């Protein structure tokens, strides 16, 4: 009863007087009381070291310049840690002096005891190159437990080259993030051209097209998700730089030049094809012009899809997009090429190819066969063969992973997009028999 009286009294007082506190103020009072009861000692937070530093922008002149100078000093310090030419010569002389007889054929060998002696005499710089782990990895079942001096020296040379190249590439990574964007790669290759003896005869007017052709291979194979950047680590791990620097050899054979994407012969071939396809000479390719690519047997449906999925300008393809197209078709066995082609074949963007997708592309093959007055082939038979060939996890659909796992992705794609590819597949047994007969005659 007393509680009821106090509540009524409070209501009367509130009705008679203007309420001093707002709802927000009442809330803050209760919140502060609650917080004071549950307060935690936050003094330890000030002792945690800072682990993230935002990269300064170019507008922040002083921090940006400071960071650039610090990176330059770091790279310079790191470059001094690797062996130079004179030190490599000294190492070779030490290995030659401490080789362990008998020789294995014409090859000198070294045992572990002498290996350790060389490691001490070679100095501190060679310590990481001449470790026990390296010796164990270079073992080749020698009966005396030795390793080849040439194999060991080649290993050291390769490591030194990788470190030097890593530093060289880092100079083009202004932000220091560990990757190069398209413009960084273009600058790197542009600066590299004067050192490539095989490109001496290349006209300067063609240099920009050469750089574009070379950079496209790096981006196509090392950046399949099209992020616009390539990790320096991936550049070093692949063989592209080896192919590129192979052009320093002035006596490189014509066969190697032909198979090397970065050679002047290869670059001129690709650019020449592009110019030949460009009938109206506007610097771009239409669907009708691209239809003349290769043997001219690519299906219209496939070309239509290429122009739907790839970057075009007013319905026409530029040179960069054309280079992606060429790289995909010339390297259909590579995962990146299959990724490119699968995206085009997946007309419904559903992540797999079903019977509808396969039939959609194969109908064009059937129409081309009838135009050339060839016997019609049943889609049902070809469909069963394709599924048997790929052996997908789900028997009703073929995913990109199924194509990669099967090792037959290149064959399936060529059946669907190219009459010549389908004809080759269809007559594979006769072609094998012809090859066998010609080999026997020889």
Please give the pLDDT value at position 365: 92
Angle between helices 319-330 and 207-222 (to 10 degrees): 50
Please give the pLDDT value at position 19: 52
pLDDT band at 191 (very low <50, low <70, confident <90, very high): very high
Percent of the chain surpassing pLDDT 90:
55
Express each pLDDT in 24-40 by its tens digit: 777 787 777 766 665 55
Please give the pLDDT value at position 438: 52
Sign of the Cα torsion 402, 407, 408, 409 reads positive
Higher pLDDT residue, 331 or 51? Answer: 331
Which residues are 109's β-sheet partners? 148
* pLDDT over threshold 80, residue 4: no
Query: 128-132, 271-275, 356-360 — which is least confidently predicted?
Result: 128-132
Please give the pLDDT value at position 11: 46
pLDDT (mean) for 418-435 = 75
Q: What is the dihedral of CA 36, 41, 45, 46, to 10 degrees?
A: 100
Express each pLDDT in 60-99 by its tens digit: 888 888 888 888 888 888 888 888 889 999 999 999 999 9
pLDDT band at 10 (very low <50, low <70, confident <90, very high): low
* Distance of alpha carbon 153 from alpha carbon 88, whole angstroms: 9
Angle between helices 207-222 and 182-192 (to 10 degrees): 130
């Amino acid at each position: 009863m007393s509680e009821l009286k106090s509540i009524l009294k409070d209501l009367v007082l509130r009705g008679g007087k203007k309420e001093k506190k707002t709802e927000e103020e009442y809330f803050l009072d209760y919140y502060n009381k609650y917080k004071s009861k549950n307060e935690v000692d936050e003094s330890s937070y000030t002792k945690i070291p800072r682990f993230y530093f935002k990269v300064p922008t170019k507008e922040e002149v002083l921090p940006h310049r400071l960071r650039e100078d610090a990176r330059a000093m770091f790279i310079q310090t790191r470059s001094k840690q690797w062996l130079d030419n004179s030190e490599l010569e000294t190492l070779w002389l030490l290995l030659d002096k401490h080789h362990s007889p008998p020789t294995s054929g014409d090859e000198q060998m070294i045992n572990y005891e002498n290996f350790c002696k060389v490691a001490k005499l070679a100095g501190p710089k060679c310590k990481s190159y001449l470790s026990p782990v390296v010796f164990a990895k270079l073992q080749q079942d020698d009966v005396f437990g030795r390793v080849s001096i040439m194999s060991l020296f080649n290993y050291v040379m390769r490591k030194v080259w990788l470190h030097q190249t890593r530093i060289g590439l880092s100079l083009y990574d202004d932000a220091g993030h560990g990757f190069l964007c398209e413009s960084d790669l273009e600058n790197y290759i542009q600066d590299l051209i004067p050192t490539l003896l095989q490109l001496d005869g290349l006209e300067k007017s063609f240099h920009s097209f050469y750089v574009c052709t070379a950079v496209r291979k790096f981006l196509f194979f090392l950046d399949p998700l099209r992020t616009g950047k390539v990790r320096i680590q991936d550049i070093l791990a692949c063989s592209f730089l080896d192919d590129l620097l192979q052009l320093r050899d002035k006596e490189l054979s014509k066969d190697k030049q032909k198979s090397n994407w970065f050679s002047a012969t290869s670059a001129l071939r690709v650019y020449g094809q592009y110019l030949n396809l460009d009938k109206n000479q506007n610097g771009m390719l239409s669907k009708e012009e691209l239809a003349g690519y290769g043997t001219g047997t690519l299906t219209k449906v496939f070309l239509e899809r290429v122009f739907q999925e790839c970057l075009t300008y007013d319905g026409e393809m530029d040179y960069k997009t054309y280079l992606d197209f060429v790289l995909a078709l010339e390297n259909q066995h590579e995962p990146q090429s299959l990724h490119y082609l699968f995206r085009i074949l997946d007309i419904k963007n559903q992540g797999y190819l079903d019977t509808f997708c396969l039939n959609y592309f194969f109908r064009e093959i059937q129409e081309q066969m009838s135009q050339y007055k060839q016997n019609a082939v049943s889609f049902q038979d070809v469909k069963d063969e394709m599924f048997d060939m790929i052996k997908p996890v789900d028997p009703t659909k073929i995913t990109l992973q199924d194509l990669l796992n099967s090792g037959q992705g290149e064959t399936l794609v060529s059946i669907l997009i190219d009459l010549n590819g389908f004809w080759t597949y269809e007559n594979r047994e006769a072609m094998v028999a012809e090859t066998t007969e010609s080999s026997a005659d020889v």
